[in-house]
Amino acid sequence: MAVTTCQARLVQLAPRLGAVAANLHRHLEAAERAASEGVELVVFPELSLTGYFLRDLVPEVALRLDSAHFAELLDLSRKIHLVFGFVEESDAFELHCSAAYLAEGELKHLHRKLYLPTYGMFDEARYFSAGSCLQSFPTPWGPAGLVICEDLWHPSVPYVLSRQGMDLLIGIAASPFRGVEPGGPDIGQSYELMLGAYAELFQCHVLFCNRVGCEDGISFWGGSRAISPLEGEIAVAPVFDETHLDVVLERSHLRRARFATPLLADERPELLRRALEKMSHE
């Protein structure tokens, strides 16, 4: 049976570009402090061990899952569940923008970013290989889904995770501040609307951890947040500031939301399956 509450902390930090050892030290300090304060799950942003605009540094900062740095985080996970972002070097020498969920001294789940933005200021497909697997995984608080930034902009991703029983959606990001136009929404407002819709439609809790800081003249806006399917946003971090956000996720919110509006129970995935099969043969 799933635990009824989750004490979570979102660590909204500004990693130093390419400085893996220094960033690792900050992760260890922050997670140790969180564990000592009764936090059960600590979440760091996308590429939190390396910084974002790495370009040709990508191979130099990549970590293998059997590396010494990874082992330090695994050891710490005996005290607290943790999520962080890093550049992963696979056994096939492919480089992925990855997120790890560690607990009890083990790698419980690895997610490789599925959608690599390569437009505007983004050039990820030049440096990374895209992931090819999407799967929920067990936690003490029910099945969770772990995704990275651009993955969130494709609603098929949370839909699939929802059909796999997801109770908690964890999204980590390195989202730059952009899109401010007269009369139009900025990127923070877009995330607010999108994540709120996911929490309501897929009737799950949402944890979103975005980084801050500046690289190559580009600022990252932060605005990390937690969203309940019953109450909407329950906590939001300031924009642009390094900080942490503590939240308590109540499992009872899932029950009440799903009983009040049985969207998940009434969902008919066979309709989508038939439509996709028909499209594939046209």
- Check: CB of residue 227 under 8 Å from CB of residue 206: yes
Q: What share of the chain is helix, strand, coil (3-state, %, to 5)?
A: 30, 30, 40
pLDDT at 178: 74
pLDDT at 186: 85
Q: Residue 40 is encoded by which pair of tokens?
A: 């059960």
Report the alpha-carbon distance of residue 26 to residue 211 in Å, rounded: 14
* DSSP-derived secondary structure letter, 173: E
pTM above 0.95, yes or no: yes
Report the alpha-carbon distance of residue 130 to residue 13 in Å, rounded: 25
3-state class (DSSP) for residue 23: helix
| Average pLDDT per block of 10 residues along the chain, 282 residues long | 94 99 99 99 99 98 98 99 99 98 99 98 97 99 99 99 99 86 72 98 99 96 98 97 99 98 97 96 88
Report the alpha-carbon distance of residue 169 to residue 113 in Å, rounded: 15
pLDDT at 131: 99
- Residue 145: strand pairing partners: 169
How long a stretch of residues is the chain?
Answer: 282
pLDDT at 207: 99
Which fold is adopted by the domain 5-280?
Nitrilase/N-carbamoyl-D-aminoacid amidohydrolase (3.60.110)
Please spell the DSSP secondary structure of 148-168, one letter per residue: EGGGGG-THHHHHHHHTT-SE
Q: Which residues contact 174 (CB under 8 A, 6 or more apart)?
A: 45, 46, 47, 52, 85, 149, 210, 211, 220
Task: Annotate 165-182 with b (16+ C-beta within 10 A) or e (fewer).
Answer: ebbbbbbbbbbbbeeeee
Report the alpha-carbon distance of residue 128 to residue 60 in Å, rounded: 13
Q: Residue 214 is encoded by which pair of tokens?
A: 């500046």
pLDDT at 133: 98
Report the alpha-carbon distance of residue 229 to residue 249 in Å, rounded: 10
- Check: CB of residue 48 under 8 Å from CB of residue 94: no
Q: Residue 268 is encoded by which pair of tokens?
A: 């008919």
Report the alpha-carbon distance of residue 122 to residue 116 in Å, rounded: 9
pLDDT at 185: 53
